Structure 1
């Protein structure tokens, strides 16, 4: 199988690297060629446009920051659909709008191209270790045919159901992560203001019924002060927007998610859309003039 990969940013470069390490012939494209430097040094080929890439491969994977970016790469004048041959497969690992995904999949189907969605979850550090969770939606036979590729990308792989279903569960998981993140900040501040040792508080929470994946990971970056999770405020707000839209569509109020979205709006106003999403906790730190630091915690996750 000849594989193409478009979008080798913070997350995509690790997914593409895992594919290359698994022995697949890999061709990559990104708006910034420098982003692909390590992949090219590892033996990947370069394509100047999505269309040129599509003409060389059997399966193409996209990992892009927004629905608009996915649409431009897939259906633009020099996009993937201009170069993909009948029988090819497009796999989108982006956190995408499911309605736009289904529309693009219809265009692909008109050309005999199969679409699978495979958003990933667990964080950039999990992608770097080849352990990220892969959530797949689409035709069962196509899923099975590409299972070795998904296994190369990550650890646990779930076939959620038909196309569009993986987008729903990815929105749910991200919504929960941001709710947990805001809650973690409040919990650590209670510990700090209560005179507790924050390192010991971290361990106690980790071993308690209040533990979460977000606490085990992002709390470490808060306590270090780097906040460097590799995921931005803008991306968090995009995903929370998807959650609110899904709630309206399905008739679920999402009151807690709405409050968290409003908190992230304030965070973006204070620190900018390019700030790491974990920086949302700094709102409370700055408001109270109290930092949440403890020795011995890493600046990045491994």
Structure 2
């Protein structure tokens, strides 16, 4: 696949290291980011930098988008001068953003009309997973397109699963974000709880992590939460957006998510207080505020 050209659009916290890992895997990667300074890391890693999304996508075998929200993806892919206009029949469009399932299905339908194979392939694992190429990738779309894109996915993640037709990847990602937010909320409650009873929270986390309460969230987030270090790996703003996707999709399907609705409200409250730029583990601040404990972190 060394002659396989990948256009990577969106070189932020997640996209930047993902694009760099594709370069290391031997792909010819040309990247574009709206903020040009973000693209310099890709250039330093051996990739090429384009002046626009359409320039990056022209001639590419695979186009990957890693953008903040559904409107961003729609604009870059389907808008006037969108990348779909320049893609060759048979090429691959892989959206790795987290967007609404219905938008993912519309991208696939529009791509099919142009002869472009489209996959929705959102990821989980955070910045650390992106850097280490250990992401979990949930893929929706046609089986043949999934197999064609498999070498690309294998360079980015360790758990790669084809979960169903177009939109299925985004549906599973919504479920992932529901679980992650819920666990962060419960870890926050537990930390406030043990601290209120005068228990050493570091020792509490140590033993909790070794039992049934152990989780990836506890392993990766508890230490920074205790240190009150909320440097963003995944921002509150983005998780708030994702929980909006979850609640809307659940309502559309007639599914009750009472715990999810509550944690979505808590995340929204945290964001409304000006903490949207912090890591989503800053949900601890909201639980402390509600309990009349703790100090406000700088945003």
Normalising by structure 2, report the TM-score: 0.94
Q: 2:89 aligns with which of 70, 74, 86?
A: 86
Match of 2:174 in 1: 171
TM-superposed CA distance for 1:121, in Å, is 0.4
2:219 aligned with 1:211? no
Task: Provide the secondary structure at the position in 2 that maps to 1:90.
Answer: strand
Structure 1 counterpart of 2:188: 185
**Residue 183 of structure 2 contacts residue 217 of structure 2 at CA under 8 Å; is this kept in 1?**
yes
Q: Distance in 2 between matches of 1:32 and 1:259?
A: 35
Extract unaligned runs of 5+ from structure 2: none
Deviations 1:206-255 (A, max 9, x none): 01112222111111210111122421122111111111112112211111
The whole-number CA distance in structure 2 between the counterparts of 1:248 and 1:204 is 38
- Report Cα offsets for 1:234-290 as digits up to 9, x if no partner: 211111111111211221111111111111111011134223221121122244454
Partners of 1:229 and 1:291 in 2: CA distance: 20
Aligned to 1:299: none
Residue equivalent to 1:21: 24
Match for 1:95 among 81, 98, 101?
A: 98
Q: Judge conservation of contact 1:29–1:48 (CA < 8 Å) in 2.
A: yes
Match of 1:263 in 2: 266
Aligned residues: 292
CA distance in 2 between partners of 1:176 and 1:90 (Å): 28
Output aligned runs, 1:32-111, within 5 Å.
32-111=35-114
Does the Cα contact within 8 Å between 1:20 and 1:26 map onto a contact in 2? yes
The CA distance in 1 between the partners of 2:224 and 2:118, in whole Å, is: 37
**Contact 1:51–1:84, Cα closer than 8 Å, also in 2:** no
**Partner residue in 2 for 1:297:** none
User: CA distance change for structure 1 residues 52 and 69 in 2, over 3 Å: closer, same or farther?
Assistant: same
Shift of 1:186: 0.6
8 Å Cα contact 1:205/1:211 also seen in 2? yes
Task: Give the superposed CA RMSD.
Answer: 1.4
Q: What is residue 146 of structure 2 aligned with on the other side?
A: 143
Asked whether the 8 Å contact 1:54–1:83 carries over to 2, the reply is yes
Distance (whole Å) between structure 1 residues aligned to residue 31 and residue 111 of structure 2: 20
Is 1:235 equivalent to 2:217 in the alignment? no
2:267 match: secondary structure: helix
282-291 or 38-47: bigger deviation: 282-291
Q: State the TM-score, normalizing by the size of structure 1.
A: 0.93
Deviations 1:130-151 (A, max 9, x none): 1111111111111112111100
CA contact (8 A) 1:171 1:242 kept: yes
Shift, 1:110, TM fit: 1.3
CA contact (8 A) 2:42 2:49 kept: no
| Distance in 2 (alpha carbons) for counterparts of 1:248 and 1:283 | 26
Residue matched to 1:247: 250
Separation of aligned partners in 1, 2:46 and 2:258: 49
C-alpha distance after superposition, 1:169-208 (max 9, x if no partner): 1100111100111111110111111111111101111011
Q: Is the 8 A contact 2:124 2:137 kept in 1?
A: yes
Counterpart Cα distance in 2 of 1:144 and 1:88:
13
